[in-house]
Chains A and B, each alone.
Chain A
Amino acid sequence: MNTAPKPAQVLAALLLCGLGARAGAAPSYPVVAAQSSLSFVGTQQGERFTGVFRTFDARIDYAADDLPGSRFDVTIPLKSLDTKSTERDQALVTADWFDVAHFPAATFRTVGMRTTPGGVVADADLSIKGRTKRIVFPFTWKAASTGATLDARVTLDRLDFGLGGGEWADESTIGRKIDVIVHLTLAAPAPVAPAGKVNGKLPPKH
């Protein structure tokens, strides 16, 4: 039995390796802002409240067969938050919370992706209020007829990011756990154009 690879097979393998190693090779999917949301659920005085970030920029490069070439890069201007309560929104941008005057945006950058028994998981650096934490970000990717959807839910501890320290740290008034819910609708990737930033501007309040 001849086990030596044929020259053509060697060439194919080399090509594949080369492709796989090239970062950013995965196609870049533009976000369909009107059908996407970045929301969070917190608890205040025993009651859950939901907030959304009305704008965010997301670069989503993804290919299930090219995890090293896949990456998510998201920037969230924090003053775009809306929890449907003027008083709470005003409080959340102050120094005790997001301190938007000094830290206008949060960023989320994947540093790698891997396959786990539960599905694909990204490891990402999340920076809020000048503090960066490596988080595990499991997500569900569903290919659609054109484009795809990306859904994820992670639970964060607000104190990891200095949100509501001091007197607010006591969680009897404002809970520590915050659920972040991501739902992105992605259009078909642009054929050749290099991946660009996509503005995820949501329609104004009504």
Chain B
Amino acid sequence: MALRSTAKGWGPVARAFHWGMLLLFLGIIPVGYYMTDLPLGLAKLKIYALHKSVGLTLLGLAVLRLVWRLGDRRPTLPPMPAWQARAASAAHALLYVLMFAMPLSGWVYNSASHFPLQWFRLVNLPAIVGENKPLAALAKEAHEVGALVLIAIVVLHAAAALKHHFVDKDATLRQMLPSKGDRR
């Protein structure tokens, strides 16, 4: 089975990255909003640790995904207005930026507020900046605004995919879905 994407559809690697990371995003974002309201305590510390571990996992996956994508091709788009194709490409580019900006702003915030950073209790990661309160506040702001932008873009991006599938009845979504159909 070819791992790369073809003219007819996204390859299995691109699809695995896409849907696998979607699941992690669906987990980490609600956890992010939930955890901040918890009272100070061990539970809060543990949930934060989980959020950070998943976030770091997403950062690692984003690196691999980008590297893979740069060596991959994109399938031929079904016929659609040029603005839609451009908007889709812009959304994908922005999503890639956010895939890095989210975990990195989290990491900067964590480092600048002098908190430990452990990946699933297995390895500790170094601080990427020194203790710095103004920078911590800035990174926190970026992380919060970034989360809102991420949610907005994903909603638009998913809505567009569904519109192509159900209204235009074209292959856009099928090219990314893990079904046999349109791919070779």
Closest to B40 in A: A91
CB of B68 within 8 A of chain A? no
- Indicate if the CB atoms of A173 and B45 lie closer than 8 Å: yes
Name B23-71 residues within 8 Å CB distance of A.
Answer: 40-43, 45-46, 49
CB of B124 within 8 A of chain A? yes
Which of B84-92, B112-120, B150-158, B159-167 interfaces with chain A? B112-120
Q: Which of B40, B41, B121 contacts A46 (CB 8 A)?
A: B121
- Indicate if the CB atoms of A46 and B124 lie closer than 8 Å: yes
- Indicate if the CB atoms of B40 and A173 lie closer than 8 Å: no
- Indicate if the CB atoms of B131 and A173 lie closer than 8 Å: no
Residues of B within 8 A of A96 (CB): 41
A73 CA to B49 CA, complexed, in Å: 40
Chain B window 72-93, contacts with chain A (Cβ cutoff 8 Å), 1 for yes, 0 for no: 0000000000000000000000
Closest to A94 in B: B40
CB of A114 within 8 A of chain B? no
A42 CA to B43 CA, complexed, in Å: 20
- Indicate if the CB atoms of B42 and A47 lie closer than 8 Å: no
Residues of A within 8 A of B43 (CB): 167
Report how many residues on chain B are interfacial, defined by Cβ distance under 8 Å. Answer: 17
Chain A window 67-104, contacts with chain B (Cβ cutoff 8 Å), 1 for yes, 0 for no: 00000000000000001111110110010100000000
Residues of B within 8 A of A88 (CB): 114-115
A94 CA to B124 CA, complexed, in Å: 27
Q: Known: A167-B41, A173-B42. Contact between A47 and B113, CB under 8 A?
A: no
Residues of A within 8 A of B117 (CB): 45, 47
A41 CA to B49 CA, complexed, in Å: 21
CB of A172 within 8 A of chain B? yes
Q: Known: A90-B40, A167-B41. Contact between A45 and B113, CB under 8 A?
A: no
Residues of A within 8 A of B114 (CB): 49, 83-85, 88
A167 CA to B45 CA, complexed, in Å: 12
Residues of A within 8 A of B45 (CB): 45, 173
CB of A44 within 8 A of chain B? yes
CB of A137 within 8 A of chain B? no
A-B pairs, top 7 by smallest CB distance, nearest first, are A47-B116, A45-B116, A85-B114, A167-B42, A45-B118, A84-B114, A46-B124
Residues of B bordering A, CB below 8 Å? 40-43, 45-46, 49, 113-118, 121, 124, 131, 133
Residues of A bordering B, CB below 8 Å? 44-47, 49, 83-88, 90-91, 94, 96, 167-168, 172-173
A-B contact list, 20 entries, CB within 8 Å: A44-B116, A45-B45, A45-B49, A45-B116, A45-B118, A45-B121, A46-B118, A46-B121, A46-B124, A47-B124, A49-B116, A85-B131, A87-B115, A88-B114, A88-B115, A94-B40, A96-B41, A167-B42, A168-B42, A173-B42
